[in-house]
Amino acid sequence: MQTISKLTLSDTMYFENTPALNYKIDYPQFTSTCSRRAAAAVNSFYRLRAKSLETYCRFTLYPQAVTDLKQLREDRDPLLGFEFLVTFQVTYNSGCIVSLYMDQYEFEGGAHGSTQRTSQTWDFSTGKRMQLSDFYPHNPSYREEIQTQIQSGIGRRLEQEPSTYFEDYPELLRTTFNPESFYLTPEGLVIYYQQYDIAPYSTGMPQFLLPFNE
C-alpha cells in the first residue's frame, strides 16, 4: 500500500507592483510498503516534472505575462495577470498499484483558461509505469473495442443532451485517441479526451468509464 502526501511549488511574480503571474504546482510524494526503490523512482519522476513546470513558469510564461501587462496598460484595459495551476487526484490506490491524473490549468487572458490533463498508473512493486495494453493482454484489437464502446456511450449521451459533442465525433474520437489518456478507479478504467478533442468547451473534459466486469 502507498501513502501519499502533497508537495507544492508556488509563487506570485510581480511587474512594477502588479501581479503578473501566479503559479501553484501541486505534486505527489509516495511512501510504499511494496518497494522503497520504486517509490523513490516515482517520486523523482514527479519532482523533476514539477521543477520543469516551474522553470516554464518563471522563464517562459512570466516574460509573456509582462509583455501582456505592458500592452494592457497602453490600451488602458483592466490588468489581468496570468495564472498557472497544477493539481492532482489519486483515483486508485490498492495493493502495489496507484493511478492518478494531473490537471494543468493555464490562464493567459481572454474569456477563459484552458486545462490539459495527464495521467499515470504505477506498479510500485517494480516502479514501472503501466500501459493501457497491460489491461488487455492477448487482445491486439483492444483500441478498436474501446473506441466502439466510447462511440456507443456518446450516442446514449446525445439522446439525453443533444449538441454536447461535435457532429463528426465518430471520426474524432478515433483520430484524437491517446492510449496514455487513462486512469483507474475502483469501478473500472476511465478513458478521457482533452478539451475540444471531441466536444465543445462547455462539455468539459469528456470521460468514459469502462467497468472491470464488462
Cell of residue 51, nine digits: 521543477
Pair (116, 164) in one structural domain: no
Give the pLDDT score at 214: 66
Final residue before a domain boundary, out of 97, 113, 129:
129
pLDDT one-digit tens code per residue, 77-104: 777 899 999 999 999 999 999 999 999 9
Domain count of the fold of the chain? 2
> Which of 68, 101, 129 corresponds to the end of one domain?
129
Are 100 and 90 within 8 A, CB to CB?
A: yes
Query: Beta 97-107 vs 114-123: how paired, if at all?
Result: antiparallel
> 144-161 pLDDT, tens per residue?
999 999 999 999 999 999
Task: Kindly state whether residues 117 and 139 are assigned to the same domain.
Answer: no
Tell me, yes or no, if the pTM score tops 0.85.
Answer: yes
Host domain of residue 33:
2-129
Same-domain pairing of 45 and 103: yes
pLDDT band at 75 (very low <50, low <70, confident <90, very high): confident
CATH at 23: 3.30.565.40
What are the beta bridge partners of residue 129? 122
- pLDDT tens digit string along 37-60? 999 999 999 999 999 999 999 999
| 33 and 104 co-located in one domain | yes
Domain end point (choices 129, 162, 186): 129
Q: Are residues 60 and 124 in the same domain?
A: yes
Long-range contacts, 190-197 (Cβ 8 Å, 24+): 190/91, 191/146, 191/150, 192/101, 192/117, 192/119, 194/116, 194/117, 195/114, 195/115, 195/116, 197/172, 197/173
Task: Compute how many other C-beta atoms are within 10 angstroms of the C-beta atom of residue 99.
Answer: 21
